[in-house]
Structure 1
Amino acid sequence: MEILASLRNGDHRLTKRMAAWDSVWARRVLPPVEEAAEHTKLWWAAAVIMAAGGRWRGRKAAAAGVTAMAVAELLSNGVAKKLVERPRPPKQWIPHDDVEDRPDSSSFPSGHTAAAVAFTAAVVPAWPWAGAACAVPAVLVAVQRVHSGAHYPSDVAAGAAVGLAAAALVRATPRLLIRHLP
């Protein structure tokens, strides 16, 4: 129990520290990242660009990314948030106005992070360069979720794990299906 209390205390301290981060960079970059990530708009746009400009490789990467993102959304928002009821970080910890624009759902896990990591991790094997380009906004989404007060860092870490699992599942599914065909 002492280990869990220590982890929880560290999670709370890091949440407060990241939410209090007040720099010009954070004020200019993170709000547009949040807007782009809402309803997975950022990842749909990336998929369209890859599919339109990347020939077969781009279409394959886009399809893998969108599929993994859908699986991650299902796992994080459709399953995990219903199983784990965790309140959002307390509003008094967040010293800026972003705290008023938070969802009412469970904080655990971060669905935005799950979608971002799933999309990115699924794109990398199909088109490494595009996956590397997607990694930058994926990291920014994860940082923004804590900075805005929507999530604890552990929620973001769990969302990243869900995203990686979704991408691995999407990558493994064709091989599993082929292996079990008569």
Structure 2
Amino acid sequence: MRLMAQLRDIDRALTKQAARMPPGVGRVLSAVEEMAESTKLWCGAAAAMAWLGGWRGRKAAATGLAALVVAQLVSNGLCKQLADRPRPPKEWFPHDEADDRPDSSSFPSGHTAAAVAFTAAVAPTWPAAGAVCAVPAAMVALERVQSGAHYPSDVATGAAIGLSSTWLIRRAPRLILRH
């Protein structure tokens, strides 16, 4: 019980800290998140990789999109249906971004799950593309807290779902062939 109270305190403190970022930072983060909305950014990146990257680009794109789909299914299709966590209180945010957020459960961050899954799946096949994708992925994760859409623990759980989805997609062929 004490541990849960400590985690709530940490979530609250980190959320309030992120809410106080300078307005210019918030605008940049919001612009990147808007590009990532409905996975547009990651689908665009996959298309560019497939077109410009030859065999390696097509493999990175396919693996990234597969991991992204699994992460979305787990985070939005399963976890959000099971968890009913309210969004952070609007009064914590000195800006009006907290007024424009979904009504669904805060837990976990599906945006972060998708961003991390795509990036982590691309990186082993095409490290340079993975490094490029890591920048907007981190910005999306930060924006989800800064805007009031999620607590840091929602984002951390979304990242864990993204990494787990990547692990599953990268291991699935071996697991299937083994049986």
Shorter-chain TM-score tier: over 0.9
Tell me how far 1:69 sits from its aligned partner.
0.2
Residue of structure 2 equivalent to 1:65: 64
Tell me how far 1:40 sits from its aligned partner.
0.6
Residue of structure 2 equivalent to 1:112: 111
Tell me how far 1:28 sits from its aligned partner.
3.7
Instruction: State the Cα RMSD in Å.
Output: 0.9
Structure 2, unmatched stretches of 5+, are none
One-letter amino acid of the structure 2 residue matched with residue 139 of structure 1: A
Residue of structure 2 equivalent to 1:15: 15
Residue of structure 2 equivalent to 1:132: 131
Residue of structure 2 equivalent to 1:97: 96
Between the two proteins, the alignment pairs up a number of residues equal to: 179
Give yes or no for contact 2:26–2:146 (8 Å, CA) kept in 1.
no
One-letter amino acid of the structure 2 residue matched with residue 87 of structure 1: P
Q: How far apart, in 2, do the equivalents of 1:22 and 1:133 lie?
A: 24
One-letter amino acid of the structure 2 residue matched with residue 4 of structure 1: M
Q: Does the alignment pair 1:148 with 2:137?
A: no
Give yes or no for contact 2:26–2:147 (8 Å, CA) kept in 1.
no
SS of the aligned residue for 2:123 comes to: helix
Q: Given the two structures, how large is their TM-score scaled by the length of structure 2?
A: 0.98
Residue of structure 1 equivalent to 2:83: 84
Please identify runs of 4+ aligned residues in structure 1 that moved more than 6 A: none
Q: How far apart, in 1, do the equivalents of 2:48 and 2:99 lie?
A: 33
Tell me how far 1:23 sits from its aligned partner.
4.5
Tell me how far 1:42 sits from its aligned partner.
0.5
Q: How far apart, in 2, do the equivalents of 1:67 and 1:75 lie?
A: 13
Q: Deviations over 1:73-118 (max 9, x none)?
A: 0000000001111000011111111111100000000000000000
Q: Given the two structures, how large is their TM-score scaled by the length of structure 1?
A: 0.96
Q: Deviations over 1:21-61 (max 9, x none)?
A: 1253x134112111111101010000000000000000000
One-letter amino acid of the structure 1 residue matched with residue 50 of structure 2: A
Q: How far apart, in 2, do the equivalents of 1:23 and 1:88 lie?
A: 21
Tell me how far 1:18 sits from its aligned partner.
0.4
Q: How far apart, in 2, do the equivalents of 1:42 and 1:152 lie?
A: 23
Q: Does the alignment pair 1:5 with 2:5?
A: yes
Residue of structure 2 equivalent to 1:40: 39
Q: Does the alignment pair 1:169 with 2:141?
A: no
SS of the aligned residue for 1:126 comes to: coil
Identity %: 64
One-letter amino acid of the structure 1 residue matched with residue 68 of structure 2: M
